[in-house]
Amino acid sequence: MSGIASAQILCNCLALAETEEGRDLRGMTATLDVTACVIGAGPVGATLAATLAAAGLPTAVVDRAPLPPMELPEFDGRAYAIALTSQRLLDAAGIWQRLPAAPQPIHRIRVADGRPGARPSSLKLDFDSAEVGQGEPFGWMVEARSLRVALNACLPTLPNLTAFAPAEATVTRHPEGAEIRVAGGPHGKMQGETLIRARLVVGAEGRESPLRRQAGIAVTRWDYGQVGMVGAFAHERPHGGTALEMFLPNGPFAQLPLAGPGGFGTADLPHASAYVWSERTALARRFLAMDDARFGHELARRLGDHLGRIRPIGRRWSYPLSALWAQRFTDTRLALVGDAAHGIHPIAGQGLNLGFRDVAALAEAVIAAANAGEDPGGAPVLARYQARARPDAMLMLGATHVLEKLFGNDVGPVRLARRIGIAAVDRIPPLKRAFAERAMGMRPGLGGLLGGQRLA
């Protein structure tokens, strides 16, 4: 056979291969057409991808990290406070039902002002979910590992969802759409390169979002000069589903109930709670360097004795505390969600819940547009998302910023005024109810996914 004939046969074979299953064998490039491609498979990004796919929209999600190692069986000390409205979103997406263990409901919240090693002020604020009238807890405590297990169990079951992890994505956006070149095959199987053609790209890669940077979206940052320490401890007495928010001079300290008893080590310390402890940077570094016994002593000085003896369990996590605000949440064919769009102080425990509210706002806008035959990544849809999500995030950012400034000091007159203010709220039922509903993520006229609406 002549060289010319052989070359012709080869060209014909390649041309035929290009038409089969969207795969170009010369470059090993597969093509995938989706409504949305989510970059970042953390809790916010993965939940958005699952929500869109569950609504019947072709969706891709890409993450640089492999998904299975994020669900290692050992309890690692981290847990999330999931508000009622966030639970409704996770339930609608099919994630909540896949939690490997029942989460711990939060039935009561106690707010007090104090100092380390001293009894808290008797002027306190107590919330009880039974008084709010929803018939539901304020929220649930879910181990970070459990949420990852649920997400990883849910994603492969969705026929409209393709996950690439670990994989690297190169994103090109233009007015007509977006192209995402992914190095790494679906579900982490290395199969060359995939070209994803999407109507919308979503940046869910965290505070240092490369997509936000690529779009030239400016951010404003505030450094609180604090470190947030996160972990868990076993304790002697049951918590009764009660969370404690203690305002201390160097930053807030929260105790959050975990499911149990059982699984935490010893018969005399059968219960467990998580802590979120904000402390001035220099002191936090000193505490983090301590062994478990000394660290537990410092925990107890802030917690008080209502849970009896305590012992730290699991790993300690820490991160510098700062706030972040993106000057806009959208760009051409791009939407930012979660920490890519905003970051707040953990004083109210609403960071992840705020990200879930972004998910609901964006998912509802995209789903409605697709059902109406509208371009789901077009400028009108993105404008509707930003108009809903940005004011909500700004309100929460402002509230947590003011709370940190008001409660993060030990000035005598200010301390007295805030203690009187806490007690006053406790005695004004309408105001108390408004605070309680905000903790649950509720607001007047709330509907959609956060209001309990199911996906069609």
Q: Consecutive 10-residue runs of the chain (456 residues): their mean pLDDT? A: 33 33 53 98 97 98 81 70 96 96 94 88 87 84 92 95 95 98 69 90 98 98 96 94 93 92 73 95 97 97 95 93 97 98 91 96 98 98 98 92 80 78 81 79 84 85
Within 10 Å of residue 77's Cβ, how many Cβ atoms? 20
Instruction: List residues bridging with 269 in a β-sheet.
Output: 266
**Residue 28 confidence (pLDDT):** 62
| pTM for this model (two decimals) | 0.90
CA distances from 11 to 3, 18, 24, 384, 436 (A): 12, 11, 12, 49, 69
**Residue 427 confidence (pLDDT):** 81
**Residue 13 confidence (pLDDT):** 33
**Residue 431 confidence (pLDDT):** 78
Residues 6+ apart with CB under 8 A from 438: none
**Residue 229 confidence (pLDDT):** 97
**Residue 71 confidence (pLDDT):** 58
CB-based burial label for 123 (10 Å; 0-12, 13-18, 19+)? middle
Q: How far apart are CA 290 and CA 297, in angstroms?
A: 10
Helix then strand then coil, in percent of the chain rounded to 5, is: 40, 30, 30
* Structure tokens belonging to residue 13: 């074979």
**Residue 96 confidence (pLDDT):** 97
Domains present along the chain, CATH in parentheses: 32-72+153-219+327-399 (3.50.50.60), 79-146+221-323 (3.30.9.10)
Are residues 94 and 157 in contact, defined by beta-carbon separation less than 8 angstroms? yes
